[in-house]
Amino acid sequence: PFCRGEKVVQYMSKPVWVLSHGRSLKIGDLLAKHSQQGISKARRFYDLIKTSNSSDALKAACDAGLGWLALNEENVSLAIEQQQKALGLYEKLKPEGDSESLTHLYITSYNCIGACFRQLKEYRPALKYYRKAEKLALKVPIDKYAMYEGYRNITSINIALTHKLLGNIDQTWELYKKILAYEMNTSTHFHGPTYLTIAQAGLHEAQVANNVHEYEQHFQHWKAFLDLSLTNMSSSYRRSIISGVLVIGFQYADNHQTQTMAMDYFQKVIRISRRYINVNRDDYRIVLDCLNQLARLNTKRQQYAHSMNHAMEALNMCREDDLGGIVECYKSIASNYEQQLLDQEKDLTPDDIHRMIIDNPFTNVIETAVQV
């Protein structure tokens, strides 16, 4: 039922230790993400391997995989139990197992237990296990089986965002700088998502739980981290932070509670990026987008003069060959006038309406009929 399971198990039983447990976790994770009965299929896959003649190492990896499945189902106690079971098996494998491969399994289990405690909002125990994983990660190459999140430096990111959840903003910032330096040395990919993951930690969960106090607490931590990052910026990570702040600004611009702050961040981004608009087209585009966003937000807030100032500033800085940018500026201006007209219509009194009818230039027009 899951891609010819028996043949998969035969393949996994090959005597290549790294290949076997690494692929088992990867296949289990891919099955779990399948849209239809994903987790149940992944569980059956792991159970099938455990009941076969597979190696003890492979069975231990399956226990780790089952722990992650339990966490995905929010069964935290079972997830911890499965990982503790896997850790016990790792200890027995130490004399015979490949040390690097075994280390990767330890890292996988410690990260899962850390995630469990983080979900329980027990952040200090979470840090304890994340640090265990980080200590081991220093001994091996990059975690090639890091498929549970979309980042290369998972453990360090988990530590940083947990510090952020605890309100340790300075520590979070220092960790972020180290993470970004590492990522920039190992990959040329866009690094904005790393910033977002750390900055927004806890906000979504508190919002879903409808916990006003918790949301406000995480909101303040979020604001403190953004403010610190915008005042301690260097050229090496300017683009990553600007990109992250922009995404946050656009995301929260329509939220009444965060709209004012989003506008403030757009202003800060404009001040930072304006210095580079003549040398970098991306910065030119960023400033233009922020000005138009400010124009439209001020229109919604009925601050029409401020809105027009931002729209005209954007229009005046548009390059002649930037037809798309010019169109967006005129859209901002049109939205301003349209909203003002709607506001005037809402405020009309019966006398105003009566006067408009009397003054209608078409009132005295008499239709003429064609007479034969």
Among residues 33, 43, 60, 53, which one has the least CA distance to residue 1?
43
Confidence (pLDDT) at 304? 92
Q: What gap in Å lies between CA 100 and CA 115, rounded to an integer?
A: 23
The label of the residue with tokens 């309100």 reads 167
Q: How far is CA 134 from CA 41, 82, 153, 175, 265, in A?
A: 31, 21, 10, 12, 33
Measure CA of the first residue to CA of the last residue in the chain; give whole Å. Answer: 85
Tokens of 295: 């124009």
Q: Residue-wise pLDDT tens for the chain (372 aa)?
A: 333 333 333 333 333 333 355 566 666 666 666 656 667 777 787 777 777 776 778 888 888 888 898 998 889 999 999 999 999 988 888 766 557 778 888 988 999 999 999 999 999 999 999 999 988 877 766 544 444 443 447 888 899 999 999 999 999 999 988 888 777 666 655 566 788 788 888 877 776 677 788 878 887 888 888 888 888 776 666 777 787 778 777 777 777 777 888 898 899 889 888 888 887 888 899 999 999 999 999 999 999 999 999 999 999 999 989 999 999 999 999 999 999 888 877 776 777 666 656 665 444 444 433 333
- pTM recorded for the entire structure: 0.69
Q: What is the pLDDT of residue 177?
A: 86
Q: Which of 60, 22, 24, 64 is nearest to 45 (CA)?
A: 24
**Whole-angstrom distance, CA of residue 60 vs CA of residue 55:** 9
Non-local CB neighbours of 275 within 8 Å, separated by 6+ positions: 283
pLDDT digits over 104-129, tens only?
889 889 999 999 999 999 999 999 99
Six-digit token string for 314:
């954007």
Q: What is the pLDDT of residue 281?
A: 86
The token pair that represents 269 in the structure block: 């981004």
Q: What pLDDT score was predicted for residue 98?
A: 58
Tell me the residue length of the chain.
372
Task: Provide the CB-side half-sphere exposure for 305 (13 A, CA).
Answer: 0
pLDDT computed for residue 194 by the predictor: 80
pLDDT for the residue 154: 81
The helix-helix angle for 304-317 and 281-300 (nearest 10°) equals 160
Per DSSP, helices labelled H in the chain are 5-12, 17-32, 38-50, 56-72, 76-93, 99-119, 123-137, 154-166, 169-186, 192-199, 203-208, 212-231, 238-252, 259-273, 281-300, 304-317, 323-346, 350-358
Which pLDDT score is estimated for 315?
94
DSSP secondary structure, 182-251, as one string: HHHHH--S--HHHHHHHHTTTHHHHHHTT-HHHHHHHHHHHHHHHHHHHHS--TTTHHHHHHHHHHHHHH
The Cα 301–Cα 291 span in angstroms is: 15
Burial of 119 (0-12, 13-18, 19+ CB in 10 A): middle
Closest to 98 in 3D by CA, of 45, 60, 50, 48 = 60
Tell me, what's the pLDDT at 20? 52
362, amino acid identity: F
What's the DSSP call for residue 152?
Answer: S
Residue among 190, 191, 187, 117 nearest 158 (CA):
117
Euclidean distance between CA atoms 330 and 336, whole angstroms? 10
pLDDT in tens, 53-103: 767 788 888 888 888 989 988 899 999 999 999 999 888 887 665 577 788
- For residue 164, what are the CA distances in angstroms to 75, 121, 197? 25, 13, 11
